[in-house]
Protein backbone atom coordinates (compact mmCIF):
# COMPACT_ATOMS: atom_id res chain seq x y z
CA UNK A 1 0.00 0.00 0.00
CA UNK A 2 1.33 3.48 -0.84
CA UNK A 3 1.99 6.13 1.77
CA UNK A 4 -0.82 8.63 2.42
CA UNK A 5 0.42 12.17 1.78
CA UNK A 6 -1.22 15.55 2.32
CA UNK A 7 -3.21 16.84 -0.63
CA UNK A 8 -1.26 19.08 -2.97
CA UNK A 9 -4.38 20.66 -4.42
CA UNK A 10 -7.81 21.45 -3.09
CA UNK A 11 -8.92 19.78 0.10
CA UNK A 12 -11.81 17.34 0.30
CA UNK A 13 -15.03 18.79 1.71
CA UNK A 14 -17.21 17.59 4.56
CA UNK A 15 -20.54 19.44 4.66
CA UNK A 16 -23.07 19.51 7.48
CA UNK A 17 -26.22 21.51 6.78
CA UNK A 18 -29.12 22.70 8.87
CA UNK A 19 -27.80 22.49 12.44
CA UNK A 20 -30.77 23.99 14.26
CA UNK A 21 -30.08 25.80 17.53
CA UNK A 22 -31.95 28.12 19.86
CA UNK A 23 -29.85 31.12 20.86
CA UNK A 24 -30.27 34.48 22.56
CA UNK A 25 -28.14 36.58 20.22
CA UNK A 26 -29.07 40.00 18.88
CA UNK A 27 -28.84 43.70 19.54
CA UNK A 28 -32.39 44.04 20.82
CA UNK A 29 -33.40 43.21 24.38
CA UNK A 30 -36.34 41.05 23.25
CA UNK A 31 -33.95 38.92 21.16
CA UNK A 32 -31.83 38.32 24.23
CA UNK A 33 -34.85 37.61 26.45
CA UNK A 34 -36.91 35.38 24.13
CA UNK A 35 -34.21 33.87 21.96
CA UNK A 36 -34.77 32.58 18.45
CA UNK A 37 -33.80 29.87 16.00
CA UNK A 38 -30.38 29.99 14.36
CA UNK A 39 -29.39 27.48 11.68
CA UNK A 40 -25.75 26.68 10.92
CA UNK A 41 -24.20 25.14 7.81
CA UNK A 42 -20.58 23.97 7.81
CA UNK A 43 -18.20 22.96 5.06
CA UNK A 44 -14.82 21.77 6.25
CA UNK A 45 -11.79 21.37 4.02
CA UNK A 46 -9.71 18.36 5.00
CA UNK A 47 -7.81 15.47 3.47
CA UNK A 48 -9.84 12.30 4.05
CA UNK A 49 -7.47 9.79 2.45
CA UNK A 50 -6.02 8.54 5.76
CA UNK A 51 -9.52 7.91 7.13
CA UNK A 52 -10.61 6.22 3.91
CA UNK A 53 -7.58 3.93 4.05
CA UNK A 54 -7.96 3.01 7.73
CA UNK A 55 -11.79 3.13 7.94
CA UNK A 56 -11.25 4.48 11.48
CA UNK A 57 -13.14 7.43 12.96
CA UNK A 58 -9.99 8.49 14.83
CA UNK A 59 -8.44 9.42 11.47
CA UNK A 60 -11.05 12.03 10.55
CA UNK A 61 -13.30 14.70 12.00
CA UNK A 62 -16.00 13.27 14.25
CA UNK A 63 -18.84 15.36 12.86
CA UNK A 64 -21.28 14.16 15.53
CA UNK A 65 -19.05 15.61 18.22
CA UNK A 66 -18.45 18.76 16.15
CA UNK A 67 -22.19 19.36 15.75
CA UNK A 68 -22.66 19.17 19.51
CA UNK A 69 -19.80 21.67 20.05
CA UNK A 70 -21.32 24.06 17.50
CA UNK A 71 -24.77 23.70 19.06
CA UNK A 72 -23.34 24.49 22.52
CA UNK A 73 -21.51 27.52 21.11
CA UNK A 74 -24.73 28.91 19.64
CA UNK A 75 -26.88 28.14 22.67
CA UNK A 76 -24.60 29.78 25.27
CA UNK A 77 -22.85 33.12 25.81
CA UNK A 78 -25.07 35.53 23.83
CA UNK A 79 -23.48 38.09 21.51
CA UNK A 80 -24.92 41.00 19.56
CA UNK A 81 -23.91 40.06 16.02
CA UNK A 82 -24.07 36.94 13.87
CA UNK A 83 -20.60 37.99 12.65
CA UNK A 84 -19.25 37.30 16.15
CA UNK A 85 -21.15 34.02 16.32
CA UNK A 86 -19.83 32.87 12.94
CA UNK A 87 -16.24 33.59 14.01
CA UNK A 88 -16.78 31.59 17.20
CA UNK A 89 -18.04 28.63 15.20
CA UNK A 90 -15.16 28.81 12.69
CA UNK A 91 -12.68 28.81 15.58
CA UNK A 92 -14.27 25.61 16.91
CA UNK A 93 -14.02 23.95 13.50
CA UNK A 94 -10.34 24.86 13.18
CA UNK A 95 -9.45 23.36 16.58
CA UNK A 96 -8.98 20.03 14.80
CA UNK A 97 -5.56 20.15 13.10
CA UNK A 98 -6.88 18.12 10.18
CA UNK A 99 -9.25 20.92 9.17
CA UNK A 100 -7.49 23.26 6.74
CA UNK A 101 -10.42 25.60 6.24
CA UNK A 102 -13.95 26.11 7.47
CA UNK A 103 -16.85 27.74 5.67
CA UNK A 104 -19.56 28.70 8.16
CA UNK A 105 -23.01 30.03 7.34
CA UNK A 106 -25.20 31.33 10.17
CA UNK A 107 -28.87 31.73 9.24
CA UNK A 108 -31.16 33.97 11.28
CA UNK A 109 -34.52 33.20 9.65
CA UNK A 110 -36.61 35.18 12.14
CA UNK A 111 -34.44 38.28 12.31
CA UNK A 112 -36.42 41.33 13.48
CA UNK A 113 -36.93 43.02 10.12
CA UNK A 114 -40.25 44.77 9.45
CA UNK A 115 -40.61 43.27 5.97
CA UNK A 116 -41.30 39.91 4.39
CA UNK A 117 -38.08 37.99 3.76
CA UNK A 118 -37.00 34.38 3.54
CA UNK A 119 -33.74 34.40 5.50
CA UNK A 120 -30.81 36.40 6.75
CA UNK A 121 -27.52 34.53 6.40
CA UNK A 122 -23.86 35.36 6.88
CA UNK A 123 -21.16 33.15 5.37
CA UNK A 124 -17.50 33.34 6.34
CA UNK A 125 -14.52 31.24 5.29
CA UNK A 126 -11.50 30.88 7.57
CA UNK A 127 -8.29 29.05 6.77
CA UNK A 128 -5.67 27.54 9.00
CA UNK A 129 -2.43 29.51 9.04
CA UNK A 130 -0.11 28.41 6.27
CA UNK A 131 -2.86 27.15 3.93
CA UNK A 132 -3.18 28.77 0.50
Catalytic residue positions? 108
103, 125 Cβ separation under 8 angstroms: yes
CA–CA distance from 5 to each of 2, 9, 20, 56 (Å)? Answer: 9, 12, 36, 17
Strands (E), the chain: 12-23, 36-46, 99-107, 121-127
Output the CA torsion sign for 122, 123, 128, 129: negative
Reduced to 3 states (helix: H, G, I; strand: E, B; else coil), residue 85 is helix
Amino acid sequence: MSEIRPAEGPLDELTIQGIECHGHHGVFEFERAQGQVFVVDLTLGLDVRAAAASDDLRDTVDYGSLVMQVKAAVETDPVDLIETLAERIADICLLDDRVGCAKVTVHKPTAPIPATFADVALTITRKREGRP
